[in-house]
Structure 1
């Protein structure tokens, strides 16, 4: 036996022993916990804040159970529902949360399944000068205090205009579009005075908390503001309860990062040691195993033709300023056959600087590469890939608390599958394909990619899922909810210098929840799905089997920017087998020239007219410049005041003008099974 193999085998035994020691408290029950004094409510499981039956077969299959604070037992105050930007409830899951502002106030959950860990989504105030505060929250199980957790706002609270800042006294970017506050002057008027802090947003953060003892169905977990707390308030949003398994042991043939000096205590940098381990794994063609621990990594780890695995994303953590795992850039040859799995990447990014490469996973990872079961938090973008390249699978990951996007496929990426990922609390698009035009459409178009069975929640800015140009891409079986401002649940936009849409873009069997927002610049409601012709036409879009639930305004929005309304339209768009349950104003709002067909679109709980058709605002005597094609089977009534019980669609075919962008909004009832 070689010395190298002997060391590797001994290291594996050490890793196993360490792993078992780390989980001893999770593996052993603690008897004698008394029942709490307050009669708890039964646990209520939700997905995106609604009954899981309404999203069955869609979204990510996750290892945890979601429970909303507003459905639990609590002694604080309910905040919300509210969909108004720059408010705490608007950014909360389900648009509601519970505010605790006095010592002893609590939220108590009753478990619906066994668990030994919880992820708590919360908000606390920022420091007056920015930079965040910290404060404690007590955790009790069945009435007995178990531990205290430290909450922080150091990674939340952004202010101002793009690219945003964590400084509440920062001036907004005067070159940015500011009409939402009515403060853009003409060339002859004095400069406006801006209130400070200007537009605070991105309030929430997440905390992973081991519960130490294994809990069973019916046990209670209470989060209480302790007497030592100095925060003015704590808002609890949602708790995800999880049964975390034992750490994964090293593959039988692998390189152990400890052999190369990686420090699991996080006291010294492990970047060089991990580089050496990765080089050895690549040379020997065996996986690199990173045992349980927290490893300080203050730069990128560059990977190519190598497998890097941890003990599980609750057990192995890479953290530090600038931490990230990157493929080589295309200009440097790109990376292929890379496989990343079962660890966490937790960064230290506190404001948005778009030129900074502080993403969790990045570069070019093609040629059959996979990224699986990672947990990524506090980076600028969870995963940002730069093409052109082909052949990537991203699945079963959790991405939370990002300053910008959750995941972005930028420029010429093809045959990528992004599936079964859970994304929450981004500061820009949750998932995006961006066909960034920097050379030729043939090279720059994203194409033949799939976003499927993902759950994307609570983007504080922009869209849950967005497609910018390209061809033959698919968005299918996703659950998206609660965008806040300047975006919708599902989006196809000719913007951001994207190459033109061509081929077919498909949205199929997605569910949106509370995804129609009010655009503060246009001062109109967007749609749960939003097609936007800004820098070119939008065409070739097929929408099949989507469910649009609890829409504040419109379910479907098709719009061109005013300055180009006579240049760029929306055409060759087809909606079929769609359900709309709740629209505060209309099912369809068209503010462009072009056409779309509708077949078997069933609706209910529509607040105003079924169709708002302004066309290109020429208002010709022949009717709107936007035509509706009736494929049949469009059932349900709208809430128009002229003919009660009228079909939502047929009176507007082919192009009746009914232009009212701001009718009275009727808040829809909660969605229910059809």
Structure 2
């Protein structure tokens, strides 16, 4: 562990030497047939779940390469652990990876990692791209990657502990209370290794064309890791003729001049004349929030229209605590009545956020929006893709891509009702992918459906903190890295109680059930956590598939300090499939109960139900009751019922085989 933290480059070497299997790259040979995946899985395993996207995903480890395959590895702070499918390809100068296009395409997206600068802040390096005789150069950067240390993290690889009074699992101590003080090898806890870059090709290439990505000699980077490539056939720009075109109000499509004031003028004119604001193809520089209310803004498509801005330090902190501003479209604050009837579509938002400052409002979309729609956007390099502070209602987010965020992709933060996120693709967030957080005002009647969330580097794929009548359905979640699960319901962070019915329906998780670094135990692919209060709502988890779980499929737990205070009840699991669990199907570390019906499992590493209850270990059995409603195959035995203590605090892990058709 310590050897991984000496420097950015040494961190990579240690990931290869200590935490990841390393396989030699194959000798170049005949071009293989393309292997198309979804979240590094056979698409047949996740049919009908997750977002339907316009691109096709190919993992580098399935492609032809002269580089080195790294992984698989699920150990936090290593490059493979943050890769899609926990495996990637490492290139050095002159090495390449080749992808065969599975369908006609004129654009690609490459997910990659390159080293940090020795003192942080990132570097830039070229990647040569060739396709069917066409040659281009993609400029890679690590300026938005590589965080270190404790939450909320540092960009400085040599930073001292941000919280010396916090428990440090590596030394099993609180450094401020430890004599002598432990030596924490720097850089401490490197993370957030990956970024992605989009590139339009010069023409449309037919299926079967080979796209070669080469790390050129003299690139300036010691290595380049390629995780995957997405290929896409991008259509022509959308044209809106009868509209308030921002060019007519002084906007600069070259991105050289700031266009914020031009956007304001176009919006004001459009509202007076009941027109759409049209943003044509181009790159438009905007370095602050654009306030939107009762307006429609349409771009030419998110590959054609980009609204891009620098992060700007404020002369003095704003009333909300922000010390920076940046590009973003914001509804009016709820305290001012919020905004409504806002419709945003068809453009990209590209921010410049390189550090996590929780008080900063540097999100792609923000404020309070009611009766609004957001569709067809591409958002990257902001703090949170969309953060909403209600009360607000009836906002629909759909068909959007949110990647490379410092924190969440979407957060319904307090007082959001009757709203939804649908058919949205999320990858590489620095916190929860999709979250509902009922802090101080209840969230109610919201839905997250048919979304894909991949590789959140911290926390959960989809998380619900309090709320009433919430639905999470038809989603695909893969590869959470640390301190989180695929699906999470938490009575924590000061959230209001769960009320009504919370439904997790027909979701699939892959390679979830991670290792919790502070507790030093495995979590579940779905994780219910009673920290601040009881969880006593009607929770129905039906039709879910939990694939290739590192530890448990299902975990219900309370914090040790409050284990005798809070319980979890009213939970019902039905029509569930568990294909691979490193330890157990169910890990119960809390008082309470749950029912199980038609929960089928295979490839379970340890006891099917690891029932610790609240660790009272009394003669009456566990404080947690398992109710068998029949049809539970492959894990639940009669002798475990209703509350037999089967507790193994840290059972040995048996790595499950890859998931396969049921």
**Aligned equivalent of 2:356:** 352
* Alignment check: 8 A CA contact 1:369 1:392 kept: yes
From 291, 294, 305, the equivalent of 2:283 is: 294
User: Structure 1 residue 212: deviation in Å?
Assistant: 1.1
> Would you say 1:323 and 2:331 are equivalent positions?
no
Output one character per residue of 1:341-395: Cα deviation in whole Å (capped at 9) or x when no partner: 00000000000001111000000011x2000000000000000000011110000
Output one character per residue of 1:430-456: Cα deviation in whole Å (capped at 9) or x when no partner: 00000012xxxxxx1111000000000
> Would you say 1:484 and 2:474 are equivalent positions?
no
**Aligned equivalent of 2:572:** 574
**Aligned equivalent of 2:429:** 426
* Alignment check: 8 A CA contact 2:260 2:288 kept: yes
**Aligned equivalent of 1:552:** 550
Aligned residue runs from structure 1 range 181-580, under 5 A: 181-182=170-171, 183-185=173-175, 187=177, 189-250=179-240, 252-321=241-310, 322-366=326-370, 368-437=371-440, 444-539=441-536, 540-580=538-578
* Alignment check: 8 A CA contact 2:406 2:430 kept: yes
State how far apart, in whole Å, the 2-side matches of 1:302 and 1:420 are.
Answer: 26
Q: 1:90 to 1:231 in 2, by over 3 A?
A: same
**Aligned equivalent of 1:132:** 122
In structure 2, the residue corresponding to 1:538 is in which secondary structure?
coil
**Aligned equivalent of 2:32:** 41
* Alignment check: 8 A CA contact 1:428 1:463 kept: yes
Cα RMSD of the aligned pairs, angstroms, is 1.2
* Alignment check: 8 A CA contact 2:153 2:356 kept: yes
* Alignment check: 8 A CA contact 2:165 2:175 kept: no
In structure 2, the residue corresponding to 1:221 is in which secondary structure?
strand
> Would you say 1:650 and 2:638 are equivalent positions?
yes
In structure 1, the residue corresponding to 2:395 is in which secondary structure?
strand
State how far apart, in whole Å, the 2-side matches of 1:614 and 1:186 are.
Answer: 33
Aligned structure 1 segments of 4 or more residues deviating by more than 6 angstroms: none
State how far apart, in whole Å, the 1-side matches of 2:246 and 2:398 are.
Answer: 24
* Alignment check: 8 A CA contact 1:460 1:485 kept: yes
In structure 2, the residue corresponding to 1:90 is in which secondary structure?
helix
**Aligned equivalent of 1:52:** 43
Q: What TM-score, normalized by structure 2, do the two folds share? A: 0.92
What stretches of structure 1 of length at least 5 have no aligned partner?
1-36, 438-443, 638-647
In structure 1, the residue corresponding to 2:650 is in which secondary structure?
coil
State how far apart, in whole Å, the 1-side matches of 2:493 and 2:475 are.
Answer: 24
In structure 2, the residue corresponding to 1:590 is in which secondary structure?
strand
* Alignment check: 8 A CA contact 1:255 1:286 kept: yes
State how far apart, in whole Å, the 1-side matches of 2:256 and 2:167 are.
Answer: 45
State how far apart, in whole Å, the 1-side matches of 2:180 and 2:165 are.
Answer: 17
**Aligned equivalent of 1:643:** none
From 83, 86, 94, the equivalent of 2:77 is: 86
State how far apart, in whole Å, the 2-side matches of 1:136 and 1:38 are.
Answer: 25
Q: What TM-score, normalized by structure 1, do the two folds share? A: 0.91
**Aligned equivalent of 2:167:** 178
State how far apart, in whole Å, the 1-side matches of 2:162 and 2:610 are.
Answer: 34
State how far apart, in whole Å, the 2-side matches of 1:180 and 1:325 are.
Answer: 40
State how far apart, in whole Å, the 1-side matches of 2:638 and 2:408 are.
Answer: 40
> Would you say 1:96 and 2:100 are equivalent positions?
no
Output one character per residue of 1:467-497: Cα deviation in whole Å (capped at 9) or x when no partner: 0011110000000000000000000000001
* Alignment check: 8 A CA contact 1:255 1:281 kept: yes
User: Structure 1 residue 230: deviation in Å?
Assistant: 2.1
**Aligned equivalent of 2:23:** none
State how far apart, in whole Å, the 2-side matches of 1:532 and 1:667 are.
Answer: 25
What stretches of structure 2 of length at least 5 have no aligned partner?
1-27, 311-325
Q: 1:232 to 1:338 in 2, by over 3 A?
A: same
User: Structure 1 residue 650: deviation in Å?
Assistant: 3.0
User: Structure 1 residue 175: deviation in Å?
Assistant: 5.5
Output one character per residue of 1:630-661: Cα deviation in whole Å (capped at 9) or x when no partner: 11000125xxxxxxxxxx34331100101002
State how far apart, in whole Å, the 1-side matches of 2:327 and 2:73 are.
Answer: 36
* Alignment check: 8 A CA contact 1:178 1:184 kept: yes
**Aligned equivalent of 2:654:** 666
**Aligned equivalent of 1:149:** 138
Structure label with greater radius of gyration: 1
